[in-house]
């Protein structure tokens, strides 16, 4: 009976030791699983944040592209408007200058009218100069984007241009 008790006690001790080892192993396994789940959660969160940042970068890039295109269109509209408005100013101004020149050529007009016609012509020429400058600016701006490069002999090209104006210069 004592032997049985000793064997039972030793079996109980062995079972308790094995149960403790099993519970420690289960505890370690649970800790490893928890650590793994936390690692996956952190990795998922990091990937989500990176994806969000990538989407934001792409979105801002797209907005920047849209605003750039809108600014280009606005600039082209503005240049077109100024070109058209200067042409619209130039036509009546040319008519006014022509009429003031005709008034100066009349012999039966009083001197006061001729002086006023000269003033009109002088002021009109000043305005015409400003309008021509605006047209030159619009020509320069429109030509800036599209350079017309050519290869060849520049002296032959210049000689050809000079020859075309030689008769005009002689006359």
Q: What is the pLDDT of residues 33-88, one digit of tens each?
A: 999 999 999 999 999 999 999 999 999 999 999 999 999 999 888 888 888 888 88
Residue 9 has a pLDDT of: 93
% pLDDT > 70, the chain: 94
- Based on its alpha-carbon atoms, the radius of gyration of the chain, rounded to whole angstroms, reads 47
pLDDT at position 48, please? 97
Q: Provide the mean pLDDT of the chain.
A: 87
């Amino acid at each position: 009976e004592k032997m049985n008790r000793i064997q039972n006690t030793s079996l109980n001790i062995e079972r308790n030791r094995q149960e403790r080892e099993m519970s420690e192993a289960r505890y370690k396994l649970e800790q490893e699983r928890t650590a793994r789940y936390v690692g996956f959660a952190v990795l998922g969160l990091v990937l989500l944040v990176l994806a969000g940042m990538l989407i934001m970068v792409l979105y801002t890039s797209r907005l920047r592209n849209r605003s750039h295109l809108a600014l280009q269109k606005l600039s082209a509209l503005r240049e077109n408007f100024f070109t058209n408005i200067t042409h619209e100013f130039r036509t009546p101004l040319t008519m006014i200058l022509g009429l003031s020149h005709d008034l100066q050529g009349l012999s039966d007009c009083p001197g006061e009218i001729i002086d006023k016609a000269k003033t009109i012509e002088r002021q009109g020429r000043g305005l015409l100069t400003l309008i021509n400058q605006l047209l030159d600016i619009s020509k320069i701006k429109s030509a800036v984007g599209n350079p017309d490069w050519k290869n060849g002999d520049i002296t032959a090209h210049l000689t050809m241009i000079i020859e075309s104006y030689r008769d005009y210069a002689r006359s």
